[in-house]
Amino acid sequence: MKPVAFDYERPATLMDAAGLLGRNSGFAKIMAGGQSLGPMLNLRLAQPDLLVDITSIPELTAVADRRDDVEIGACVTHADIEDGRIPDCAKGLLRHVAGRIAYRAVRNRGTIGGSIAHADPAADWISALALVDAQAVVWTPRGTRQVAVADLIVSSFTTVLQPDELIRSVRVPKYSAGTQWGFYKFSQKAGEFAHAIGGILHDPARGAFRAVIGAIETAPILVADATSLFGGGFGVDLAERLDRRAALQLLDGKNVKDEYIRSLALVALKRAAKQACTS
């Protein structure tokens, strides 16, 4: 099967892109790396009247290394992060995540902004960026606003973005040298989407102890203060102190009833906790 016919535009500025999105009387779709959208077009799961290719907009590949954070343009690729061309202010977590997304060919084209805008709940960046308290900088003709990545995703393939809005960049806070983290995902084989994701981040200098449960068929579960989830503060026995009942209650709150997914999520979180203690 091949996609239905559509118009194609490649704007040079954000304003031009917004104009195209605003003028289109049908269904317009933004394309960055195209690694998720391409297959959806081929299967006709997405049938836009207009495809707006934003890869020629210079602002979207810019990177700013500031005192408190690193701002990463939405069209920066996974490979750019994997290869260390982007400062990793999360003490190796970003490179770890980027290097385990699909296959190298996908990482060469897939983008960080496109991944979170696409909002596939099994995608790595949705969970990882929520874990590190990243902010999405959303651009509109009326100005910009910041949305926590943890709040960007409403449910599967659904975000808070309006039709004329797009993600300009992602801001990741800088963590201290003493930061420890774990990020574990279950996949049936290398390169496939995750069936469950668990993540832990501990930075005593920032007073941060965060956890995330992802790839649960809806938006990830972020625990901004994971103290109670693990029966106390961070320590070498963290995995053994995981409160199974508390974790299951979190899954209940997201209406995750599939016992297979629930079991995988608990194991992923426990393995992430073990990884964090040895990092």
Structure confidence by residue, pLDDT tens digits, 25-38: 668 889 998 888 78
Residue with structure tokens 């053994």?
240
Residue pLDDT, tens place only, 137-166: 999 888 999 999 999 999 999 999 988 899
pLDDT at residue number 199:
98
What pLDDT was estimated at residue 77?
A: 97
Which residues, 6 or more positions from 58, have their beta carbon under 8 angstroms from its beta carbon? none
CB 182 within 8 A of CB 274: yes
Whether residue 178 has pLDDT greater than 70: yes
What's the pLDDT band for 113 if we cut at 50, 70, 90?
Answer: very high
Q: Binning pLDDT at 50, 70 and 90, where does residue 24 land?
A: low
**Spatial contact of 86 and 94, defined as CB atoms under 8 Å apart:** yes
Predicted local distance difference test score (pLDDT) of residue 25: 60
C-alpha to C-alpha distances, 44 to 6, 38, 83, 85, 192, nearest whole angstrom: 12, 10, 34, 35, 21
- Written as six digits, the tokens of 224 are 């901004």
pLDDT value of position 40? 78
The predicted model scores a pTM of 0.94
Share of the chain above pLDDT 70, in %: 99
Asked whether the beta carbons of 97 and 183 are under 8 A apart, the reply is: yes
Q: What angle do CA 125, 128, 134 make, to 5 degrees?
A: 90
Please answer whether residues 210 and 226 qualify as being in contact, where contact means their C-beta atoms are separated by less than 8 angstroms.
yes
Predicted pLDDT at 26: 63
pLDDT for residue 1 is more than 70: no
* pLDDT tens-place string over residues 190-217: 778 899 999 999 999 999 999 999 999 9
Per-residue pLDDT, 6: 84
Can you tell me the distance from the alpha carbon of 259 to that of 103, in angstroms, rounded to the nearest whole number?
A: 29
By CB neighbour count within 10 A (0-12 exposed, 13-18 middle, 19+ buried), where does 95 fall? middle
Give pLDDT, residue 45: 76
> What are 1's two structure tokens?
């099967």
pLDDT tens digits for range 81-100: 999 999 999 999 999 999 99
